[in-house]
Structure 1
């Protein structure tokens, strides 16, 4: 629901509002600058249309799985997959529906491993859930979408065993369990090669598996190209491709640049130059060396083309947060500064409401593995970062006591009260 703005932090209760402003004044937030609370008003969405759509889809998947209504779940997955149905922010509804269906199992394993129970190989949290899904599958072994959910659960659990550390530092047990889950996912998906040619959801699972098992660069690039061709409106495969082509994964900087340009050419009718920006998006945020080698003019042209084609507030918040927060975390020299400077026109010319969770994730580098202790504090921190970034763009006006009010038609600058 869209909140009525209350002195820039309309979504926060008064106590937390005061604490957040105090932290900003004291410099406890990164690069924080004082935000004049009486002079900056912007509507805040605690839950954006993107968040609502993702939540509803995940809840539906979770409900159907808990009720053992797997045939109905498979039909729902097939419908949204074949329709290429996306959330307002551009992510496939099939992704959220499937994640909801497997989330009980995956989260139990992740929590058990995070608590150190992975050393107990017979811990029930590590086995019971996935074995229950395997037993359920016996009644639906020929349904590609039931197999998809189970395969994705194995991939998720494989990554949970893999963790985020260096592969050579992994204990032997972790390596074996990780490989076993990836192997099982491959076995489950193997009978549905023909369906993968028309199903974005199955094609995405194949890409995830190839990347997880360190497939060859050319094979990974070809698989992502096929997925992008199936659903070019979905930016997630572009971004994942870029990450998997980093030297720390399966590729090189030369291959990253080459595939970014190839992808931009193929997706030009949908994104213009935006295909290049999407492939580079997470790669240059994750790897400072990739940032120094990016074609900055091409990337900025891509950002402009993305905004032209998708001017909704979900997209504007994503791009503005990326430029203003994500790319300010590392020193990448002139390319970083030029791309980060795009926050100015994104905020001044296109922003009309604030999505705090997007900004909070931007501070984490859009890392899906980042653990969030308190969602409320996470959102509040994102809101504080966003306000700092907005204030930077209007610093002269604010220093002269002018009031900035964001409207759907753009920011209005007027004398303060």
Structure 2
């Protein structure tokens, strides 16, 4: 299923209508959100009828006279149910007919006025508890971070905070993408040109959890990298700075893992092969200082990685959704046996001081004890 949105900046010209139709058909879009059409309501039906044949549509003229948001979808592949109409957002439910999958979709065209945008944030926040899988796409007319705008005056910090607070409360985050980060520019001279990331696609799909591995702490660069990430300069209120620093720290730890601990099993096997070859070379030339030094260095790295691998396996043994492989099954079986053995009772001692071992003897001792405590059944 392919969905997207396009801020067309006016759809009254015939050439733009043809271009949008071409974009829709060539990319085989199931859903297209067309923003900032500037088409009056009395002209909209003629354009939709002539340029979007075979497609259903909905516009938010009931909430804004200028047709800020048009939603066009292929009715042969997709069923769209409009849930709520707002001047800056259309909320709908989407059902893909081929796969049977369904999700909620919100198409946004945020106001240029920060005060009016607050009603957009309220609409998204109100919708969040009522949706399942959720896609929010469009032009928000505000950036999330200062580096998403270049040129002229910097982005207004309170507006960015409001935007990020809304996304945080809704559980939304940017979908990973490729291509240009800057989706809008003001077409001015280089001295006054501004580039911004105003268009984005947000999703509330659950992410993979970030797992902290104990083996990272033993690495020489760990404390230095964490300190550098945590002390990096971030502007904003206390909560915004705290979240930003957490993201920076997570990024540096992921980089540390990628460089030194990723595919650790393959690294160990490669080192084992190098060590075996080094031992063979030492057999032929046992007094070679170069080979002796190489053997020491390889052994040091090999055992460090083995220790790191063991710590990773220990952590993963506590995770329910682990998928055991041949290399780790013996390790996990041993751990499970030790855990089971620690919970077994091997012998007990009765009130007279006699020791009983084995399930049969211990069972009899328990029965005798409770018969003395509670008495035995006597028929009347």
TM-score, normalization by structure 2: 0.28
Ranked by relative contact order (alpha carbons within 8 Å, sequence separation 6 or more), the top structure is 1
Q: TM-score, length-normalised on structure 1?
A: 0.26
Instruction: Name the larger-Rg structure.
Output: 2
Between Structure 1 and Structure 2, the one with more helix by share is 1
The structure where strand makes up a greater share of residues is 2
